[in-house]
């Protein structure tokens, strides 16, 4: 095995595949990166058995082959080498890295012991803007559950129905739904682990012209972005019928500036953070005359009035402030609408413009 490639190309490839390397494993070889040569390219592969990725870069191949080296060490060496082009070869089981000023040697492992990514045959697939899919995931994945006893909700539902693609996350206390329109109709449904989606969006571009291909089969999902391919497992189970959970009998509607509400919640919730055990809720009290946010904690209390347009019945309701703050942080619009049904039913939060995002959160019971 003997090849050379540009340092900058290799750094980009290592940045991408390092996100799916195994860090806690009883199989040390999965802490490494598989390097393979073919045609005029090299392919780097990592795999933690839940999610794996491949990245292809151009190279000058003098002799073909494959090997596995420790990813962390390899990454550090490449970043610190000053040469624009780096040469690599294997000699007696040693991976040799040559720059203009030095030689570095790494121990190798048997590539036959590395768990390669499966050959993927998609039953259904779509193509969507990378920027759009990145935005959809960012606005939902934070609402997934971390409870291992409810594994189906540790992932987000990626669902395509006709010309609509939906990404939905639920943790039992809140729900986030992001919807977009597809030019070409399709149909599939898969629950993708939150970890996989979080790593995938780090790879995605903000370029309007960059596209991602998403495919699914019975057990896995594929995400292909130019030279990078990611394959993730799919979570088995029945996801909640989220369309039936949104309240329909709205009693109170509030139009309010997002930033003003976010900043007020952030300040008032200081007194919810000072308690280690059962944290007191942030209380929202509203009528046609005012919109008040308050919290009483062990260290003291706080109360703020926020400018808002309130219509409907007077209402007093409590929330875990974190659930509200996290939603507001991902909404881009300047104004939002809050829809309340009663003090014991979820609030629905929507951007005032458009129908592509809905967030719902359950209230907390207030003490008399």
Domains annotated for the chain, with CATH where assigned, are 2-113 (3.10.150.10), 124-244 (3.10.150.10), 252-361 (3.10.150.10)
User: Are the C-beta atoms of 229 and 222 separated by less than 8 Å?
Assistant: yes
Q: What is the pLDDT of residue 9?
A: 97
User: How sure is the predictor about 185, in pLDDT bands with cuts at 50, 70 and 90?
Assistant: confident
Give the C-alpha separation, 165 to 354, whole Å: 16
Lowest mean pLDDT, pick from 255-269, 322-336, 354-368: 354-368
pLDDT for 317 equals 97
Report the alpha-carbon distance of residue 365 to residue 368 in Å, rounded.
9
pLDDT of residue 287: 94
For residue 140, pLDDT beyond 70: yes
Give the model confidence (pLDDT) of 77-86 as tens digits.
999 998 999 9
Other Cβ atoms within 10 Å of 86 Cβ, number: 21
**What's the mean per-residue pLDDT of the chain?**
93
The answer, yes or no, to whether residue 275 has pLDDT greater than 60, is no
Give the pTM.
0.91
Kindly give the residue spans of alpha helices, DSSP state H, lying in 234-304. Answer: 258-268, 270-273
Contacts of 228 (CB under 8 A, 6+ apart): 16, 53, 54, 55, 203
* Model pLDDT for residues 190-200, shown as the tens digit of each residue: 999 999 999 99
pLDDT band at 277 (very low <50, low <70, confident <90, very high): low
* Phi-psi label, residue 58: left if phi above 0, alpha if psi -120 to 50, beta otherwise: beta
Q: Indicate the pLDDT class of residue 101, thresholds 50, 70 and 90.
A: confident
6-43 pLDDT, tens digit per residue, is 999 999 999 999 999 988 777 889 999 999 998 899 99
Q: pLDDT band at 110, cuts 50/70/90?
A: very high
Q: Within a 10 A sphere around the Cβ of 181, how many other Cβ atoms?
A: 10
Q: How far apart are CA 184 and CA 113, in angstroms?
A: 41
Tell me what pLDDT residue 208 has: 86
**Burial per residue of 217-243, b for 16 or more beta-carbon CB atoms within 10 angstroms, e otherwise:** beebbbbbbebbbbbbbbbeeebeebe
Torsion of CA 347, 348, 349, 355, to 10 degrees: -170
Q: What is the pLDDT averaged over residues 356-364?
A: 95
Alpha-carbon gap, residue 299 to 322, rounded angstroms: 19
What is the model's pLDDT at position 274?
Answer: 58
Residue 292 phi/psi, 5° resolution? -115, 135
d(CA 177, CA 245): 12
First-to-final CA distance of the chain? 75
pLDDT tens digit sequence for 288-309: 989 999 998 888 899 999 999 9
Band of pLDDT at residue 50, cut at 50, 70 and 90: very high
* pLDDT tens readout for residues 155-178: 999 999 999 999 999 999 999 999
């Amino acid at each position: 095995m003997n090849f050379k490639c540009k340092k900058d190309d290799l750094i980009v490839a290592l940045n991408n595949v390092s996100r799916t390397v195994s860090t806690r494993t009883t199989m040390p070889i999965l802490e490494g990166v598989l390097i393979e040569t073919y045609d005029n390219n090299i392919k780097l592969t990592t795999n933690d058995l839940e999610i794996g990725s491949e990245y292809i870069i151009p190279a000058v191949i003098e002799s073909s082959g494959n090997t596995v080296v420790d990813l962390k060490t390899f990454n550090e060496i490449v970043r610190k080498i000053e040469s624009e082009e780096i040469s690599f070869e294997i000699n007696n089981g040693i991976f040799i890295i040559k720059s203009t000023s030095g030689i570095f040697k790494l121990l190798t492992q048997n590539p036959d012991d590395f768990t390669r990514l499966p050959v993927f045959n998609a039953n259904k697939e779509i193509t969507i803007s990378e920027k759009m899919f990145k935005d959809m995931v960012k606005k939902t994945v934070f609402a997934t559950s971390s409870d291992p006893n409810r594994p189906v909700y540790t992932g987000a539902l990626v669902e395509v129905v006709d010309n609509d693609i939906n990404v939905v996350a639920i943790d039992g206390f809140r729900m986030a739904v992001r919807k977009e329109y597809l030019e070409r109709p399709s149909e599939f449904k898969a629950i993708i682990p939150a970890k996989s989606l979080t790593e995938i969006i780090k790879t995605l571009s903000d370029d309007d012209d960059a596209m991602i291909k998403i495919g699914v089969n019975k057990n896995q999902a594929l995400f292909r972005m130019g030279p990078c391919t990611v394959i993730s497992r799919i979570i088995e189970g029945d996801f909640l019928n989220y369309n039936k959970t949104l309240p329909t009998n709205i009693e109170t509607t509030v139009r309010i500036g997002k930033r003003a509400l976010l900043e007020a919640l952030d300040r008032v919730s200081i007194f919810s953070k000072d308690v280690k055990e059962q944290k007191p809720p942030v209380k929202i009290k509203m009528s046609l005359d005012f919109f008040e946010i308050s919290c009483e904690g062990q260290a003291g209390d706080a109360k703020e009035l926020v400018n808002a347009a309130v219509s409907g019945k007077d209402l007093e309701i409590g929330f875990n402030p974190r659930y509200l703050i996290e939603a507001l942080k991902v909404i881009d619009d300047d104004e939002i609408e809050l829809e309340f049904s009663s003090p014991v039913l979820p609030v629905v939060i929507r951007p005032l413009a458009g129908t592509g995002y809905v967030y719902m959160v359950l209230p907390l019971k207030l003490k008399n």
